[in-house]
Amino acid sequence: MAGNADPVLGAGPTVTGGAPRPDGAGSRLPVLLGYARPHRTVLMAAVVLGLLGSAAGLAQPLAAKAVIDALRVDGDLFTPVALLAALVLVSAVLSGVNLWLLERTAERVVRGVRLSLAHRLLRLRVHELDRHQPGDLVTRATADSTLLRSAATTALVQLVNGAAGLIGAIVLMAVLDLLLLGITIGVLTVVAVVVLVLLPRIQAAVSRAQDAVGGVGATLDRALQAARTVKASGAEARETAAVAAAVENAYDAGLTGARYSAVLGVLSGLAVQASFLAVLGAGGVRVASGSLEVSTLIAFLLYLFYVIEPISSLIMGANMLQEGLGAVDRLHGVQVLETEDDVDSAELNGAQAPDGDETTVSTTSVDAAPLAAQALVNDDRPATGNGARARPASITLRGVGFAYSDRSPALSGVTFDVPAGSCTALVGPSGSGKTTILALLQRFYDPQAGALLLDGQDISELRRADLRRRISYVEQDSPALSGTLAENLRYAAPNASGHDVAGVLRLTRLDELVARLPDGVDTLVGHRGTTLSGGERQRLAVARALLRRPDVLLLDEATSQLDARNEQALRDLVASVAGSCTVLLIAHRLSTVTAADQIVVLDAGRVRAAGRHEELLDGDDLYLDLATTQLIAPATDKTAR
């Protein structure tokens, strides 16, 4: 089920994964207007200023006519000249203020859209993140959102003011001379028909260009995320070629859009020039015949040049509007991606102030309870963020079934119990479903059959925030975030004290590393923790998890990159904390789990055996084979066969 409608993005169909786009400009326009709605007060003020500026501009040709008439009859020049100068000055000031309001509002629209996109993207369900390339999603929050900068503000105001200015000019031109007006309208109508034919093509070109830009971001992100693999494989040239192909595609798409924009620019200039020549020819003949005054012809020509601005505003506004409607497809598509709407922290309070002056973001992050290192094995721990006492929790799986999209089942009828305060290990061949179980316990995915229980309660009935507050998860690749070592340690427990941090550093033997670092825990770890070794990143991930004081500790191959000394230390640590929290761990190295209270053997998504190490050596051939292969059990006739 999709998350709730975003206050800024609205609601509508997605454009990813083959889902339909909003059908036509008629369905996109309300969405685009939704971006402008929080700023309607400022935009209305800009419209009024624009109309006043247009009125001042419309009065200028009449003032110029008065100057010419005064010259002709040798009348008073001061008044019409002063009036003309005042109109020019007022028009310039109003235009400047109007432009500032529009530019400021445009930036605020982009700010609001980006905040809203970030809010939503960071809450996407894991299966949505599995289906979409991060680079493309990032492009939506950067390049695509920029297209709305003018479309949701300047374009709308230009269309209103341009239409008002054009209508006003036509009315005054009609007052001056209907015949010359008819000639002007005839020329402009031909151009208008051509523009209307081009606008849908412009929108299609913009949509294609933005999709292509997203492809560039996705292709480059793919290579940068695996930069070391790319370099080690000597694949720089191939990845460069892939990015170049995406760039070329974006170039072709952008060139198409630029071609249409150039045609529009030519048409707008041509419309005025053709009208000018036609009016000048017809008006000159009438002046020569005495049926038209020179001052009237000059005023009419001034109005003709004046309409350049409203016509340009209309064409530019329509062009920007088409670009914005094209961006709406991709931005609006994020809205229907499924989100986790029951997680805490950084909830966007939705609407900006009516004038767009503020975008309020409140942070309701739940800080994990501080951890005293010596209290890890004590039962008198403080309450967690949800008000309950932190305590070991039991885990139960009942007939759990799950399959990833378009793949065979990863789990089929999995059933076992993990007693509170115990240490249970999951072992089995690669692809047997071990990591999937941990992912289901975190509700990264929901099971398609059966149930997972925490202290007897189905976890589907728990808010994800409440569930994850009780569980710490150490991932298989043990990622670190850019920042300092201390920031990484406190990532899940921002309020942890220095004493708490020092305690987990000792427990995970990271204190020796910290002593060697130039700035101690304030040392930067680099992008994705590249300045740390694999083992150091794993110990950092374990320390981060322990600092949170969980009821349940999930460890996914947490010793895979540790040397023998640190592996033994981690085994001792797991044994010490098992009494104060429930430990569920995955290990391919059976040496790390021989002392576990229970070992569950998985094979092809099913539980084939469960028991202690010695029981499984005698009772399960697969476990015996794994143990013998890893030299923690002697070869027997069974394994020899």
Homologous superfamily, domain 24-338: ABC transporter type 1, transmembrane domain (1.20.1560.10)
Query: Do 151 and 44 contact (CB within 8 A), yes or no?
Result: no
pLDDT at residue 629 greater than cutoff 70: yes
d(CA 92, CA 84): 12
Q: Please give the DSSP secondary-structure letter assigned to residue 483.
A: S
Q: pLDDT digit string (tens) for 447-478?
A: 999 999 999 999 999 988 888 889 888 887 77
Query: Do 457 and 551 contact (CB within 8 A), yes or no?
Result: no
Q: Pick the more confident residue, 152 or 556.
A: 556
Same fold, 24-338 and 387-640: no
User: CA 340, 342, 344, 350 torsion: positive or negative?
Assistant: positive
d(CA 586, CA 584): 7
| The pLDDT of residue 418 | 92
pLDDT at residue 431 greater than cutoff 50: yes
Q: Where are the beta strands (DSSP E) in 155-275?
A: none
Q: At 152, is the secondary structure helix, strand, or coil? A: coil
- Report residue 225's pLDDT band, with 50, 70 and 90 as the boundaries: low
| The pLDDT of residue 348 | 37
Q: pLDDT digit string (tens) for 247-306?
A: 888 888 778 877 877 777 777 677 777 778 888 888 888 888 888 888 888 888 887 877
Main-chain phi, psi angles of 338, to 5 degrees: -70, 135
For the entire predicted model, the pTM comes to: 0.65
Tell me what the mean pLDDT of segment 99-124 comes to: 81
Query: Do 376 and 359 contact (CB within 8 A), yes or no?
Result: no
Residue 342 CA, distance from chain mean position: 18
pLDDT at residue 350 greater than cutoff 50: no
| Domain residue extents for the chain | 24-338, 387-640
The set of residues, in sequence order, having a beta carbon less than 8 Å from that of 435 and lying 6+ positions away, is 476, 556, 586
Homologous superfamily, domain 387-640: P-loop containing nucleotide triphosphate hydrolases (3.40.50.300)
C-alpha distance across the termini of the chain, in Å: 51
The set of residues, in sequence order, having a beta carbon less than 8 Å from that of 174 and lying 6+ positions away, is 181
Q: At 323, is the secondary structure helix, strand, or coil? A: helix
Query: Do 435 and 474 contact (CB within 8 A), yes or no?
Result: no
d(CA 454, CA 459): 6
Q: Please give the DSSP secondary-structure letter assigned to residue 382.
A: P
pLDDT at residue 106 greater than cutoff 50: yes
| The pLDDT of residue 448 | 92
